[in-house]
């Protein structure tokens, strides 16, 4: 599955700066939500050693993974 780093699905085609359409903003928002949910699932799957390597502990993971996908 491809990872989305730039969610400008319906981005500018050049010329004058334009605001993205409502559809583009909604798609972008849903992709962000999907990325956030996937990241939290991956974080929850790390071992204690892997968490220690990145400076986190199980308590940090519990707090982060309990957040709903729409919350930062």
User: Could you state, in order of their start, the residue ranges of all structural domains in the chain?
Assistant: 22-65
Task: Supply the pLDDT for residue 44.
Answer: 97
The model's pLDDT over 11-70, given as tens digits with 9 standing for 90+, comes to 555 567 789 999 999 999 999 999 999 999 999 999 999 999 999 999 999 999 999 999
pLDDT at 5 over 50: yes
Measured distance CA(38)–CA(36) in Å, rounded? 5
**28 touches 20 (CB < 8 A):** yes
pLDDT at 3 over 90: no
Q: Tell me which of 60 and 4 has the higher pLDDT.
A: 60
Measured distance CA(49)–CA(62) in Å, rounded? 16
């Amino acid at each position: 599955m491809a990872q989305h780093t730039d969610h400008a699905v319906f981005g500018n085609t050049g010329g004058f700066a334009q605001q993205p359409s409502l559809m583009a903003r909604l798609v972008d928002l849903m992709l962000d939500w999907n990325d956030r949910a996937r990241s939290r699932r991956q974080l929850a799957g790390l071992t204690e050693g892997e968490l220690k390597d990145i400076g986190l502990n199980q308590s940090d993971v519990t707090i982060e993974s309990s957040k709903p996908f729409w919350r930062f």
